[in-house]
Amino acid sequence: MRDRARTTHRPLRRSARVLALGAAATLATGLLAGCGSDDGDGGGDGDVEISIGVFGQFGFEEAGLYEEYEELNPGVTITQDSITENGDYIAQLRTRLAQNSGLMDIQAIEVGNIAEMTGDLNARWVDFSEHEGVDTEHFLPWKLDQATTEDGRVIGLGTDIGPTGICYRTDYFEEAGLPTDREEVSALFADWESYLEVGEEFAANGPEDVAYLDGAGGMFNAVVNAYEERYYSADGEVNYQDSASVQTAWDLSVQAAEAGLTDQQQQFSDEWNTAFANGAFATVASCPAWMLGYIQSEAGDNGAGVWDVAQSPAPSNWGGSFIGVPEAGDNKEEAVKLAAWLTAPEQQAKLFTERGSFPSSAAAHELPEVLEATHEYFQDAPIGEIFTQASAEIPTTVIGPQDQVIQENITNGLVALEQQGLSSDDAWSGVVSQLDNALAE
Amino acid sequence: MTTEHAAAAPPATTGGAAPRPDSGKAEGPSPQERKRIERRSRWYRWDLKFSPYAFISPFFLFFAAFGLFPLLYTGWAALHQASMVNPNEMEWVGFDNFSRLWNDEFFWNALRNTFTIGIISTVPQLLMALGLAHVLNYRMRGSMAFRVAMLTPYATSVAAATLVFAMLYGRDYGMINWALDLVGIDPVNWEAGTWTSQFAISTIVIWRWTGYNTLIYLAAMQAVPNDLYESASLDGASRWQQFRHVTIPALRPTILFTVVVSTIGATQLFGEPYLLAGSENGGAQSQYQTLGLYMYETGWFNLHLGRAAAIAWTMFLLLIVIGLLYWVLTRLVGKSNGEEA
């Protein structure tokens, strides 16, 4: 039954052979050449090319900052290389740092990855504090601390931050007989317990099929991020099991879930996005500055004129980035100059106006275009004032290299509790065994 | 083959091969002429001997760079404790990364999920493909259109297909729950349940691969000699009996091939479970985390390069074992086949 494949032997024409051989040789050479480093021809007659590696729509290019710098500094050309997902971007950056080659002159670093850069890899980065032209004083102290190594090297300059407020829907609050004015709502949210008490009231009097908040995971992040120590103790040890902040945040989230206040959503899932458009919940407990744009794009016309933003009882930082200059770069001096310029207060203010990235520079917060900014979609909320005030209250949080892993596993535990009906104890022990496995060397 | 070569002109690169005009006597080959012929024939011999290797070398060069080297490097990394943050600093740990898998509940969980998803996606898929191929094998109007239609799911990208399915299976706004609601069934939280999520994933796999297997079966069916069917029908065999006693035995090698290919695909299943909820943990309780996904989580999220490499190699070894099993099975099937004939 088994039939053998028939093989035909037909000699190729010689010319075809030579051609094939040539093609093979070309491919092989191309392959080898691809491995070589591409030496940029920096220098020359004062002409410099500065390359910048970023992820997503970082905003520098979109806000026209490169063009502006090139005009101010004739002879400088800036090229940007962007990778859509930070996950892909950071994987490539890690490999390149390990090989010390293929690095751009300036590289962006997301706050979730800053701890690994200030840790083992810090020697691969230029220390900005050694450069006289760089002013690091204008940054918010906690932002600067995040990019400072134990021995005081500053390896990244802050771009944007994510100070948080609480986003809420005025139409649902009105239906529930709650105040809608953002001052009054802010006063209502005196602490997280009272935030949940308002939730009970909302559940009792509010519209039937609308939940008070999106999910327990969102509640957890809102609470835990406002503490100095979350998953790591001050001496850099993993400590999430005995951490008071994790305990408090877990209990409050469980309370919210068990009281049925949540819509059982996982943040950034498709369902969560659709839930915005459908107006399925009334508040977002941790609503950083950049989330306003997100809500606007997801909720669209349905949410126009009904969302507003109030002060958080305990503002925290969520997200934000840095830019650093790798030691292996060709144009370090020029790159440092550009990095300092890009993160200077005026440029940060411009990035905020153009792109909505909230400045990490305290000096930028004083500028009128930031301080007096309002958000049209959020009923002209004075977001400059709200988030400036919030960012002043944000503590310096201990950041560990595995923060993201720990946080995601804990929020997963809360999903298991909400959606799969686990008890708080079972969900927590699930989290611990997942993390024991994930964190073991 | 050889005659053709002798007739071909000498390669252009051999210098000094031009005929010398002053050796014009033409009484048998002169010593120079003989040398020339010798050189020429040596060149042909080499050409004959080595050019085939040169022609297949591109594949092997690429395979060495992108197949063999990663394979060996992964094996090397699997014997080390290494972090993805700094993959150059490796610490030798021997077979620790492998032995720890034995006690790793999440590894067993992933293996179990891979197995169950593999079964519930492969078995119905191949059965359906067989049936569809049988139907398509009848003479009918627009058979070409049907065949092309069968292959379209295969041509879509995993990512696009999975994202659409994820929307269909959505808990609050999914179309399937909406349809269930119409007939009075309570909405199902597909992603959160163990069986429901694995069912959802296998429907994506089935949707994508059934057409592909159908066409393979169809091609094999068309190679079955018609007189077998004729004599079967003369003997009074019904359509179903023909299918069972003529088609299936004739398709045996093809079926085995599709089973092997599907098994490999099922073992490496990654895109569908990864994109169902867009996270590497495969559900809040890893209820649909496959081996591929567990490897990805260990390496790219938890940043343990050595451990991830060990999982990758375990998957590889697992496939070799399965391959050997199938090979033994083929031998057995072949033998019993021989006895029947």
Q: In percent, how much of chain A has pLDDT > 70?
A: 90
CA distance A117 to chain B (A): 9
**DSSP code, position B297:** I
Of the candidates A267, A324, A260, A363, the residue with the CA atom closest to the CA atom of residue A123 = A324
Give CA separation, A40 vs A43, A69, A93, in Å. Answer: 9, 20, 18
B-chain residues within 8 Å CB-CB of A14?
Answer: 8-9, 11
**DSSP one-letter string for A344-358:** SHHHHHHHHHHH-PE
Instruction: Tally Cβ neighbours within 10 Å of residue A49.
Output: 18
Nearest-by-CA chain A residue for B89: A98
Compute the distance between CA of residue A192 and CA of residue A243 in angstroms, rounded to an integer: 18
The verdict on A274 touching B (C-beta cutoff 8 Å) is: yes
Q: pLDDT-derived band of residue A12, with 50, 70 and 90 as boundaries? A: very low
Enter the tokens of residue A344.
Answer: 């200077």
Residue B222: exposure state from Cβ atoms within 10 A (0-12, 13-18, ≥19): exposed
Q: pLDDT-derived band of residue A3, with 50, 70 and 90 as boundaries? A: very low
CA distance A319 to chain B (A): 18
Task: Give the predicted TM-score (pTM) of the model.
Answer: 0.83
B-chain residues within 8 Å CB-CB of A278?
Answer: 172-173
pLDDT value, residue B13: 46
pLDDT tens for each residue of A378-425: 999 999 999 999 999 999 889 898 999 999 999 999 999 999 999 999
B-chain residues within 8 Å CB-CB of A24?
Answer: 54-55, 57-58, 61
**DSSP H or E run through A50:** strand A48-55
Q: What backbone phi and psi angles, to 5 degrees, belong to A317?
A: -110, 135
pLDDT tops 50 at residue A14? no
Q: Do A332 and A133 contact (CB within 8 A), yes or no?
A: no
Chain-chain contact of A419 with B51 (C-beta, under 8 angstroms): no
Of the candidates B314, B323, B324, B328, the residue with the CA atom closest to the CA atom of residue B98 = B314
Q: Name the CA radius of gyration of chain B, rounded.
A: 29
A-chain residues within 8 Å CB-CB of B254?
Answer: none
Token match 């999220």: residue? B301
The verdict on A423 touching B (C-beta cutoff 8 Å) is: no
Give CA separation, B29 vs B24, B25, B119, in Å. Answer: 10, 9, 74
- When CB atoms are compared, the residue of A1, A270, A408 closest to B252 is A1
pLDDT tens for each residue of B217-239: 999 999 999 899 899 989 998 88
Q: Do A2 and B253 contact (CB within 8 A), yes or no?
A: yes
- When CB atoms are compared, the residue of A98, A420, A437 closest to B87 is A98
Q: pLDDT-derived band of residue A132, with 50, 70 and 90 as boundaries? A: confident
**Domain segments of chain A: what residues?**
48-161+320-371, 164-314+385-439
Nearest-by-CA chain A residue for B277: A269
Residue ranges in chain B modelled with pLDDT below 70: 1-28, 336-341
**DSSP code, position B84:** S
A288 or B144, greater pLDDT: A288
A29 or A323, greater pLDDT: A323
A-chain residues within 8 Å CB-CB of B8?
Answer: 14
Q: Say how far residue A238 (Cα) sits from the centre of its chain.
A: 22
pLDDT value, residue B26: 52
Written as one letter, the residue type at B302 is: N
**DSSP H or E run through B32:** helix B31-63
Enter the tokens of residue A220.
Answer: 């957890």
Enter the tokens of residue A376.
Answer: 């049209």
Nearest-by-CA chain B residue for A277: B173
pLDDT value, residue A131: 92
> Top-level CATH class of A48-161+320-371?
alpha beta
**DSSP code, position B11:** P
Compute the distance between CA of residue A44 and CA of residue A418 in angstroms, rounded to an integer: 62
Chain-chain contact of A94 with B87 (C-beta, under 8 angstroms): yes
Enter the tokens of residue A170.
Answer: 């005025």
User: Cα angle at A327 between A323 and A329, to 5 degrees?
Assistant: 85
**DSSP one-letter string for A222-288:** HHHTTSS-SSB-TTS-B-GGG-HHHHHHHHHHHHHHHTT-B--PPTTSHHHHHHHHHT-EEEEEEEE
The verdict on A94 touching B (C-beta cutoff 8 Å) is: yes
**DSSP one-letter string for B144-163:** HHHHHHHHHHHHS-HHHHHH
Written as one letter, the residue type at A59 is: G
Chain-chain contact of A430 with B285 (C-beta, under 8 angstroms): yes
**Domain segments of chain B: what residues?**
2-16+24-78, 97-340
A-chain residues within 8 Å CB-CB of B190?
Answer: none
pLDDT tens for each residue of A334-389: 999 999 999 999 999 999 999 889 999 999 999 999 999 999 999 999 999 999 99
Nearest-by-CA chain B residue for A415: B284
pLDDT tops 60 at residue A253? yes
The verdict on A16 touching B (C-beta cutoff 8 Å) is: no
Superfamily of domain A164-314+385-439: Periplasmic binding protein-like II (3.40.190.10)
Q: Do A222 and A164 contact (CB within 8 A), yes or no?
A: yes
Q: In percent, how much of chain A has pLDDT > 90?
A: 79
Chain-chain contact of B250 with A433 (C-beta, under 8 angstroms): no
B-chain residues within 8 Å CB-CB of A433?
Answer: 105
pLDDT tops 60 at residue A50? yes
Nearest-by-CA chain A residue for B10: A14
pLDDT value, residue B16: 45
pLDDT value, residue B6: 43
Give CA separation, A361 vs A143, A228, A346, in Å. Answer: 9, 20, 9
Which of A88-92, A274-278, A280-284, A423-427 is the least confident region?
Answer: A88-92
Enter the tokens of residue A127.
Answer: 């220390």
Q: Do A106 and A338 contact (CB within 8 A), yes or no?
A: yes
Written as one letter, the residue type at A245 is: S
- When CB atoms are compared, the residue of B51, B278, B286 closest to A269 is B278
User: Helix, strand, or coil here: B210?
Assistant: helix
pLDDT value, residue B338: 55
pLDDT tops 90 at residue A226? yes
Q: Do A62 and A355 contact (CB within 8 A), yes or no?
A: yes
Q: Which residues 6+ apart lie within 8 Å of A340 measured at CB? A: A128, A131, A133, A134, A135, A157
- When CB atoms are compared, the residue of B11, B85, B192 closest to A94 is B85
CA distance A413 to chain B (A): 6
Compute the distance between CA of residue A257 and CA of residue A259 in angstroms, rounded to an integer: 5
Q: Is the ipTM of this complex over 0.90?
A: no
Of the candidates B100, B279, B84, the residue with the CA atom closest to the CA atom of residue A407 = B279
**Phi-psi region at A55: left, alpha or beta (left = phi > 0; alpha = psi -120 to 50):** beta
pLDDT tops 70 at residue A8? no
pLDDT tops 60 at residue A257? yes
Superfamily of domain B97-340: MetI-like (1.10.3720.10)
Residue of B5, B66, B302 to mutate when probing chain A, most A C-beta within 10 A: B302
pLDDT value, residue A45: 53
Quote the mean pLDDT of chain A.
89
Compute the distance between CA of residue B287 and CA of residue B116 in angstroms, rounded to an integer: 11
Written as one letter, the residue type at B62 is: F
Q: Which residues 6+ apart lie within 8 Å of A157 measured at CB? A: A128, A134, A136, A139, A147, A322, A323, A324, A339, A340, A342, A343
Q: Do B192 and B208 contact (CB within 8 A), yes or no?
A: no
Chain-chain contact of A27 with B105 (C-beta, under 8 angstroms): no
Q: Which residues share a beta bridge with A160?
A: A359
Sign of CA dihedral B238, B241, B245, B250: positive
Enter the tokens of residue B282.
Answer: 């495969």
Chain-chain contact of A419 with B192 (C-beta, under 8 angstroms): yes
A5 or B226, greater pLDDT: B226
Q: Do B290 and B117 contact (CB within 8 A), yes or no?
A: yes
Q: Do A336 and A128 contact (CB within 8 A), yes or no?
A: yes
Q: Report the 3 state secondary structure along A372-436.
A: CCCECCCCCECHHHHHHHHHHHCCCCCCCCCHHHHHHHHHHHHHHHHHCCCCHHHHHHHHHHHHH
Compute the distance between CA of residue A61 and CA of residue A65 in angstroms, rounded to an integer: 6
pLDDT value, residue A100: 86
pLDDT (average), residues A97-114: 92
